[in-house]
Amino acid sequence: MSTKIKTVLALSFAILFLSPASNLFSEDAPSTGQFHSIFNGQDLKGWHGEATMDPRKLAAMSDEQRAEKMAQWQIDAAKHWTAQDGELVNDGHGVYLTTDKSYGDYELLIEYKTVPEADSGIYLKSNPQVQIWNHEDTNLAPGQDKGSGGLWNNSPGAPGKDPTEIADRPFGQWNEFRILQVGSRTSVWLNGKHIVDHAIMENYWDRQTPIVSEGPIQLQTHGGEIRWRNIRVREIQPDEANRILQTANDDGFTSLFDGQDLSGWAGAVENYEAVDGSIRCKPQTGGVLHTSEEYSDFVARVEFKLPPGANNGLAIRYPGSGDTAYVGMCELQVLDTEHPKYKNLDPRQAHGSAYGMLAAHRGYLRPTGQWNYQEVTVQGSKIKVELNGTIILDGDLAGVNEFLADRPHPGKDRTSGYFGFAGHGDAVEFRNVSIKRLP
């Protein structure tokens, strides 16, 4: 069960207006699905005012506190935001205009026009931001000379912080953004130029945790008039999201499963089966199904689907026999974490965790019955897990000295071993399994 940050509004939700799914931008691949207009060109239905704020803190308020805060923000928004002849206009002041609806994976098309003294941006999932600002003056702030479109609040030097080139049009002209967000992965096109490619958007509010799985889109106002128009969103479904993540950088990967049989696999082969292009653990069985080759440092990619309450795992540097959670480097949990039967789960047992050693962030699994995409990077003693476009674990097993139930993990320092699936009696499915050795 994904954690949903749900904002309780003092406003009524509006019905979204439909518009043709045309795209004004140069694209690496054609879009599919229907775009929905989220600004009707006439009024602010579907939007509300909201100050810049950590969405987790907003969600933690009582209903009464939140409603009071939202009402104050809405009064402020009405002073500074208007709809004029199909354009959304802000005078450079006030709270940020925020969608009533929250979004997970989506594509956003939006046009804007601003003035030199303005410093604006687009918040994604309540997180700052895709930057908009002046790059033309001689006295510019550090980074301002790079132009608009970067993920400005990423750490210095982090991918995506600066756009790859200046793509802004002169002031007085309309600019066109295309923004693609899958999990925390963000790509940006400005005026047809691809200036941010598949970069992780860092959590401005807490850099030790990922951004929330769902959240609203916010239009920032800061110091000068800005106008917006043609604002459209296309929500991305899981299968497309998985394709985007898998094809973003697929060089050097070798497929481990042909979709037809278990050729090339060893271990508990009799307890698994090839069904409809996936590897499935037979119910009431288990054990470790593993590769025939050993791996040291690698990146593994896999899609998986969980039945309700299901439990499985990824065997990392497994020696070929024994309980991989202890004798291998680790077992990465594959678990329907939020199922009621796991209500007393230790954090180090949640999905994506290095079982009993390092806890993964929760709230990024898709609902049971949907395919999830996961990428695992193993380098030396370090291990990183990215789930559905969000990094949920990034740690070093070398520094672990406290274990669940005080049970030691003698295999955690292994430098090589097999990769595989650690079944625990549930019909968990895996597909699109591939691996790449790292030098």
Residues 160-215: tens digit of each pLDDT: 999 999 999 999 999 999 999 999 999 999 999 999 999 999 999 999 999 999 99
Q: Are 191 and 127 in contact (CB under 8 A)?
A: no
Q: What is the pLDDT of residue 254?
A: 97
Cβ count within 10 A of residue 402: 8
Which sign, positive or negative, has the C-alpha torsion 350, 356, 361, 364? negative
Burial (CB count <10 Å: 0-12, 13-18, 19+), residue 83: middle
pLDDT band at 421; cut points 50, 70, 90 = very high
Which sign, positive or negative, has the C-alpha torsion 80, 44, 71, 363? negative
pLDDT band at 27; cut points 50, 70, 90 = very low
370-389 mean pLDDT: 98
Distances (CA, A) of 398 to 360, 395, 415: 17, 9, 12
pLDDT band at 31; cut points 50, 70, 90 = low
DSSP string, 216-274: -EEE---SS-EEEEEEEEEEPPHHHHHHHHHHTT-TT-EES--SS--TTEEESGGGEEE
Q: What is the pLDDT of residue 420?
A: 98
* Percent of the chain scoring above 90 in pLDDT: 87
Supply the CATH classification number for the domain 17-236. Answer: 2.60.120.560
pLDDT at 25 over 60: no
Cβ count within 10 A of residue 139: 5
Residue type present at position 331 = E
pLDDT at 20 over 70: no
Is-above-0.85 flag for pTM?
Answer: yes
- Class of 249-437 per CATH? mainly beta
Q: What is the pLDDT of residue 144?
A: 85
Phi, psi of 146 (to 5 degrees): -80, -15
Q: What is the pLDDT of residue 142?
A: 80
Establish whether domains 17-236 and 249-437 are of one fold: yes
Q: Are 390 and 215 in contact (CB under 8 A)?
A: no
How high does pLDDT run on average in the chain?
92
Which sign, positive or negative, has the C-alpha torsion 146, 147, 149, 152? positive
Q: Report the DSSP beta bridge partners of residue 41.
A: none
Which sign, positive or negative, has the C-alpha torsion 229, 234, 391, 337? positive
Q: What is the pLDDT of residue 28?
A: 52
Q: Are 285 and 271 in contact (CB under 8 A)?
A: yes
CA 415 to chain centre: 30
Taking the domains of the chain in order of start, what are their residue ranges? 17-236, 249-437
47 versus 30: the higher-pLDDT residue is 47
Contacts 24+ apart (CB under 8 A), 78-83: 78/49, 80/221, 81/44, 81/47, 81/49, 81/221, 83/39, 83/40, 83/41, 83/42, 83/43, 83/44
4 CB contacts (<8 Å, ≥6 apart)? Answer: 102, 213, 214
Q: Express each pLDDT in 113-161 by its tens digit.
A: 999 888 899 999 999 999 999 888 777 778 888 999 999 999 999 999 9
Sequence-ordered alpha helix ranges (H) in 312-424: 324-327
CA–CA dist 215, 206 (Å, integer): 16
Q: What is the pLDDT of residue 8?
A: 32
pLDDT band at 24; cut points 50, 70, 90 = very low
84-99 mean pLDDT: 96
pLDDT band at 3; cut points 50, 70, 90 = very low
Q: Express each pLDDT in 318-336 by its tens digit.
A: 999 999 999 999 999 999 9
